[in-house]
Amino acid sequence: MGWQREQDKRLREFIKIIYHHHPYYHALMKKKGLKPEDFKKTSDLIKLPITYKKDVLKDPKKFVLQPKKDELKKTLGFKQKIKGLVNPGAIREQLSMEYQPTTFFSTSGRTGVPTPVFLTNYDLDKLKEYGVSDFINFAFRNAGIKKRVAQNTFPFAPHLAFWFSYIVARHLPKTFFYSFGTGRTELQADMIEKFKINILTGMPFYLKHLSEVAKDKEIKSRVKLVLLGGEGVPEGMKERIKNNLKSIGPEPVVKMTYASSEMKSVLMECAPSSGYHTHPELHYWEVVDKESLEPIGCDRPGVLVFSHLDSRGTVLLRYYTGDYVHKGITNKTCPHCGSKKPRITSDIERLVDMDKGLTSKKIKGNLVSLKTIDEVLSKFKKLKQYRVVITKKDPKDKLSMDELIIEAGIDKRVKNIKRVIQGIKNKFKAYTDITPIVKKVPSKEIYKKVMNTMKGVRVIDKRPT
């Protein structure tokens, strides 16, 4: 395929820059006796070990391209060298714009210490270029919106989600983008009606909360498109957001995005569950076995690993995302939009997710999927908020019995609360073989606990380690 040949070409050009200007990978390649000419195709990247978040955290600056004057001579193109001779001031300014970090994004820190990812103006231009194209070709596709009025509810922080929306929105034609962040939810619900918002973007947990407040206030919604990102979304939660908005206006299309600060990019669905359209010009994606970490081919389940092919600032090769994709990556033509570029299938799950844990936990001797917990509880229409706490009957005794407590924020309009609580117990028992303790807790109190971090942590393990 044409894009595969283009990727090989980009790697051959980019690996020279990495070899001469990247402190971490230069030292790694020297240690392994590797040179740029050893990387002719993207498949040759297997010669390098996988890079983990812990590697970056040891010294984030070592992962930033840092060209030195003598080394630049080895990576500048012929035209740039001529320009440097004719106008040395101009080439210095160009290289400064290209290589000097101007800002950083930070990972949410949900799985550990936040990781800084440095960007230059070169990176910000790429973010804008591909973001505008993806919004027009994928996000807005078939949404039936001509004059776009969007409300950005991603948390205001040095985080990719908010700033991607802000940066790209400034360059989208016929689009008014209102960036509000999370919080002041009553006011945000009023803004949906007052500003005639027809596009909502944000974290799933917060947009569920916002849509419920809007429904309770009986505001008039014109929302036709909801873009979710920042965390995994159980189907029940997507349906709840859609149905809440449908009850006060048109039924919106709900699409997902996939991103990470390390990628310095956001991938989008062109239709619900279409898969995330990748940028083969920017990244080379692999799927590796979660145990052996060996590449297993694109169309099989495994962990996603990516390499930058055109980036400045922080640059990563074979970076372990920790995201498990159940159906892999498909190279087939997209049946929805006709794109021939690879798509990461939409069924992605974090291997390291929630608080202190893996995708599953042993509770009372049973292996329980955290995804199952979300799926079961998000389907209860009378459950406005929830949080699950895994603890011990005696918190100080490691050997005491496990307890699973569901803090349930039940709709105030419910009259028979005991019936709802029993229904939650029965359904949970049926799916997990565990009978939970269900405690009625005010929805606002649960919401504050859950949204205390960048991403909504709905399951927390308090058992002593």
Say whether pLDDT at 355 is over 50: no
Least confident stretch, 294-298, 351-355, 366-370: 351-355
Least confident stretch, 121-130, 160-169, 291-300, 377-386: 377-386
Q: Name the band, by pLDDT with cuts 50, 70 and 90, for residue 353.
A: very low
Least confident stretch, 137-141, 200-204, 347-351, 414-418: 347-351
Q: Of the ranges 182-196, 302-316, 445-459, which is most confident?
A: 302-316
Which range of residues forms the domain containing residue 412? Answer: 357-461
Q: Higher-confidence residue: 319 or 465?
A: 319
Q: Average pLDDT, stretch 45-52?
A: 96
Q: Name the band, by pLDDT with cuts 50, 70 and 90, for residue 455.
A: low
Q: Name the band, by pLDDT with cuts 50, 70 and 90, for residue 258.
A: very high
What is residue 146's predicted lDDT score, i.e. its pLDDT? 84
Q: Name the band, by pLDDT with cuts 50, 70 and 90, for residue 48.
A: very high
- CB under 8 Å to 331, separation ≥6 — which residues? 1, 298, 299, 342
Total domain count, the chain:
1
What is residue 458's predicted lDDT score, i.e. its pLDDT? 79
Q: Average pLDDT, stretch 77-97?
A: 75
Q: Name the band, by pLDDT with cuts 50, 70 and 90, for residue 75.
A: confident
Q: Name the band, by pLDDT with cuts 50, 70 and 90, for residue 385.
A: confident
What is residue 363's predicted lDDT score, i.e. its pLDDT? 66
What is residue 351's predicted lDDT score, i.e. its pLDDT? 66
Which phi and psi angles does 137 have, rounded to 5°? -85, -30
Q: Average pLDDT, stretch 379-406?
A: 81
Residue 369 burial (C-beta neighbours within 10 Å; 0-12, 13-18, 19+): middle
What is residue 180's predicted lDDT score, i.e. its pLDDT? 79
Least confident stretch, 37-41, 67-71, 87-91: 87-91
Asked if residue 66 belongs to a domain, the reply is: no
Q: Average pLDDT, stretch 158-166?
A: 87
DSSP 413-455: T-S-HHHHHHHHHHHHHHHHS---EEEE--HHHHHHHHTTSSS
Strands (E), 54-160: 101-106, 116-120, 148-152
Q: Name the band, by pLDDT with cuts 50, 70 and 90, for residue 356.
A: very low
Q: Higher-confidence residue: 205 or 9?
A: 9
* Number of alpha helices (DSSP H) and beta strands (DSSP E) in the chain: 14, 23
Q: Average pLDDT, stretch 394-403?
A: 74
Asked if residue 406 belongs to a domain, the reply is: yes
What is residue 78's predicted lDDT score, i.e. its pLDDT? 65
CATH number at residue 451: 3.30.300.30
Q: Average pLDDT, stretch 234-245?
A: 88
Contact 351, 232 (CB under 8 A): no
Whole-angstrom distance, CA of residue 318 vs CA of residue 441? 44
What is residue 369's predicted lDDT score, i.e. its pLDDT? 67
What is residue 136's predicted lDDT score, i.e. its pLDDT? 93
Q: Higher-confidence residue: 68 or 51?
A: 51
Hey, which residues does 368 pair with through a beta bridge? 361
Asked if residue 442 belongs to a domain, the reply is: yes
Q: Average pLDDT, stretch 197-222?
A: 92
Asked if residue 444 belongs to a domain, the reply is: yes
Average pLDDT along the chain: 87
Q: Which two tokens stand for residue 97?
A: 């714009």
Q: Which two tokens stand for residue 452?
A: 């205390």
Say whether pLDDT at 364 is over 80: no
What is the pTM for the complete model shown? 0.80
Asked if residue 267 belongs to a domain, the reply is: no
Task: Give the number of C-alpha atoms closer than 13 A to the C-alpha of residue 219, restricted to the C-beta side.
Answer: 25
Whole-angstrom distance, CA of residue 277 vs CA of residue 317? 20
Say whether pLDDT at 61 is over 70: yes
Say whether pLDDT at 138 is over 90: yes
Angle between helices 235-246 and 370-378 (to 10 degrees): 20
